[in-house]
Chains A and B, each alone.
Chain A
Amino acid sequence: MSKQINVALIGNPNTGKTSVFNALTGLNQKVGNYPGITVEKKEGICKLPRGLKAHIIDLPGTYSLNASSLDENVVIELLLNKNDKDFPDIAVVVTDVENLKRNLLLFTQIKDLEIPTILVINMADRMSRKGISLNIAYLETYLKTKIALTSTRKKEGIDNLKELISNYKEISTQPCLDTTTIDQNYFDSLKKAFPNQLLYKLWLVITQDVNFGKTDRKEIDAVNHFKTKSKTDLKRLQQKETIKRYQFINNVLKKGQTIDLSQAKDLRIKLDRIITHKVWGYLIFGSILLLIFQAIYDWSEVPMDFIDGIFASLSEWTKNNLPKGAFTNLIAEGIIPGLGGIVIFIPQIAFLFLFIAVLEESGYMSRVVFLMDRVMRRFGLSGKSIVPLISGTACAIPAVMATRNIENWKERLITILVTPFTTCSARLPVYLIIISLVIPKGRFLGLSYQALTLMLLYIIGFVTAVFSAYVLNKVLKIKSRTFFVIEMPNYKLPLLKNVALTVVEKTKSFVFGAGKIILAISIILWFLASYGPGENFNNADDIIRTEFATNNLSETDLQNKIASYKLEHSFIGITGRAIEPVIRPLGYDWKIGIAIISSFAAREVFVGTLATIYSVGNDDEATIKNRMAAEVNPILGGPLFTFASGISLLLFYAFAMQCMSTLAIVKKETNSWKWPTLQLILMTVFAYIVALIAFQFLK
């Protein structure tokens, strides 16, 4: 077996680190999570010269080893833990040629951990345009490293980098900065106490608030009494360390780098005069949001209908061609529609992430944060939360996935929790049918009452999302530093490969991550609706045929009656009846109860379920509507769907957490059942109370 070496890819955000990773590994990569936390772990395999293989980890982007977020903790936890199976044989620090000075800060820190380190200077194709020239030999000598000049855009320098990695044993491990120069007295005494330890490593253990591997525990406890220095003192030393590092870097760059400013063209400032402008900036952003919304709402309709059709015919085919029986039914009515219910989301997810990847890659997303920060901050949200909130109007699932771009965990969690309040497209069929049933046709100032009601429901959803974010921000006690420093990177043309990989990877992570849960629940729901206990369910056929023997019904009508009778006496029907006392105060009967329960598979199922219960037999809206209008309230008499019960139902659907797919994705994104459970309970209770008040007040 050929030897496999561990390579850690490290670098500041926006240096094209992920492009380098993609160039090295191509499709040989997988994305998972670090155990127990929600930070993405990207790793891949790369073939090196001379039969060597490299296992490459793309560590989260960080500006330094002084961690201020979960993502950044991951970096230093790995670099300080020699026993970690991923501990790198070699570190590759990726820098951006335009920001070399700032990027080298992290490089000097890694060097001081005495890990063999290669320096990648990326985006080399921009050098001439920026008037930058580098003295590579000089830099290699004084930074004590090997340098690879790369351009992922032009696909240059990657082979050279592979060559350097394969010679990892020849890379120097000499540090850049003598740690003791930060504070002679303090570090001398530290050295005396731990003569065998690397001083800079000790310093990181003292200053960083992170989990280290078990093996290092003892060491850390011993170090603890050095924490006696006050936080302010430690921070003062960290500042001194930063200044020292910059002195070192400035000295090296003085000779190693020349910048001819007269050659430099900076589009960024010119573009940003417009793109971050008080008026134009918002107009541009608004148009982009509209475009995204249009794409996931409208353009995905065609592929979604197509997928819907394929799975329907597949189910039909299975029923007709496999031997009749419980097993065939399970496949045709449980598993195939269940799989269909996962695949149907792919167009929306792909479209949304296509846009998000382009916005991120181009550097525009930072401008969004800049524009939206002040508004969103009041509600405990991030400037970036606006994208999930708006795209939640199409579907909450891609929207929840889109929160990955929010760095601050508390802001991200709040965004995840409130996004399902926005009116997703699955609510629309429910809204439309109930509105047409209970809202009068009249007009107000030229606008129809029905359209106004629909608009009002959208507004209610959005306002509730923002308001609950405000409440959650006050209630949730999550320690997270909320200071705000964001880089405004230079604009770049997005790389097709990076965008495509993001779309593929997000889609895969949905299908295989949340898909399992969705499939499981839809099979359970199918089972509950297709089976029931006792005589009534099993003999439905005979009972109905006997009962209507004299009525001269057509076979189709009979089949519809049987289906309806079966559903009534299935497990789900029994549950619907059982919860009737609970939902009666909202103005619903047990039939609506069944529809609400089965809505859990997807909200729009409400309409289909009612169609089955009323034994309408087809999903034609007008037919169902007529049938619903004729429905009589068993207790109060009069029509079941009145203005009061209709409004109550609309509000219930606006607020209740009725979508298992959303719960599954929330479980995946938060890595715990706690948040989806909380979401389910709180939203449903809230929906119940609002619907109750509405019905009791209006009836």
Chain B
Amino acid sequence: MQDTLAHLKKGEHAIIKDVSSNLIPLKLLEMGCLPGNSVELVQVAPFADPMYLNINGSHLAIRKETAIHILIEKVAHE
């Protein structure tokens, strides 16, 4: 099974592989959440929800329910 954004741990980096575009808001795509872009989990609220991300230089927070629809591949931070 492929990792989703919800599997990311604090401080980890990843590359976005795919987004289920009909399940996540267009707004998120427009803010840069598109395949190929890099993502870092900056901070999590208690119970890991919401999640505070740095997607390609955009700092934003989304809920876990949205994060599970974004497929990623973890990468080591250079």
Contacts and interface: CB of A to CB of B under 8 A. Distances in A.
B69 to A, nearest CB: 11
B31 A102 contact: yes
Interface string B50-78: 10101011111111001000000000000
Contact of A232 (B22, B34, B49): B22
Contact of B60 (A236, A243, A487, A490): A487
Contacts of A481: 25
Interface in A402-451: none
B43 A276 contact: yes
Interface string A460-501: 000000000000000000000101111111100000000000
A227 interface: no
Contacts of B43: 272-273, 276-277, 370
B21 A487 contact: no
Interface in A142-159: none
B57 A485 contact: no
A486 B46 contact: no
A370 B43 CA distance: 10
B45 A64 contact: no
Contact of A239 (B29, B54, B66): B29
Nearest to B33: A485
Interface in A363-383: 366, 369-371, 373-374
A485 B26 CA distance: 10
Contacts of B49: 373-374
Nearest to A366: B61
B50 A370 contact: yes
Given A238-B26, A485-B27, A374 B21 contact: no
Contact of B50 (A231, A242, A277, A374): A374
Range class of the A interface residue count: 35 or more
B27 A68 contact: yes
B21 A488 contact: no
A268 interface: yes
Nearest to A374: B49
A246 interface: yes
Contact of B45 (A101, A268, A371): A371
**Main secondary structure on A side of the interface with B:** helix
Interface in A611-626: none
B27 A64 contact: yes
Contacts of A238: 26
Given A102-B32, A370-B50, A483 B66 contact: yes
Interface in A273-288: 273, 276-278
A488 B52 contact: yes
A485 B31 contact: yes
B60 A486 contact: yes
Given A276-B52, A374-B49, A486 B61 contact: yes
Contact of A278 (B25, B26, B31, B46): B46
Given A99-B58, A268-B59, A485-B25, A63 B30 contact: yes
B42 interface: yes
Contact of B47 (A66, A236, A374): A374
Nearest to B37: A246
Contacts of A239: 21, 26, 29
Contact of A63 (B27, B50, B61): B27
Contact of A235 (B21, B27, B42): B21
Contact of B62 (A63, A243, A484): A484
B21 A236 contact: yes
A482 to B, nearest CB: 10
Nearest to B34: A243
Contact of B57 (A64, A66, A68, A99): A99
A489 B59 contact: yes
A269 B42 contact: yes
B63 A373 contact: yes
B20 to A, nearest CB: 10
A204 to B, nearest CB: 13
B45 A276 contact: yes
A374 B57 CA distance: 25
A131 to B, nearest CB: 13
Contact of A373 (B21, B45, B57): B45
A519 B66 CA distance: 48
A485 B62 contact: yes
A105 interface: yes
B45 A278 contact: yes
Contact of B26 (A235, A276, A373): A235
A277 B45 CA distance: 7
Contacts of A371: 45
Contact of A242 (B30, B47, B63, B66): B30
B59 A484 contact: no
A483 B24 CA distance: 8
12 contacts: A68-B25, A102-B30, A231-B22, A238-B26, A242-B34, A272-B42, A276-B52, A370-B43, A484-B50, A485-B27, A485-B60, A488-B52
The 3 closest A-B pairs by CB, nearest first: A488-B59, A483-B25, A239-B21
Interface of B: 21-22, 24-32, 34, 42-43, 45-47, 49-50, 52, 54, 56-63, 66
Interface of A: 63-64, 66, 68, 99, 101-102, 105, 231-232, 235-236, 238-239, 242-243, 246, 268-269, 272-273, 276-278, 366, 369-371, 373-374, 481, 483-490
Given A66-B26, A373-B61, 6 more contacts: A232-B22, A242-B30, A272-B43, A483-B27, A484-B61, A487-B59
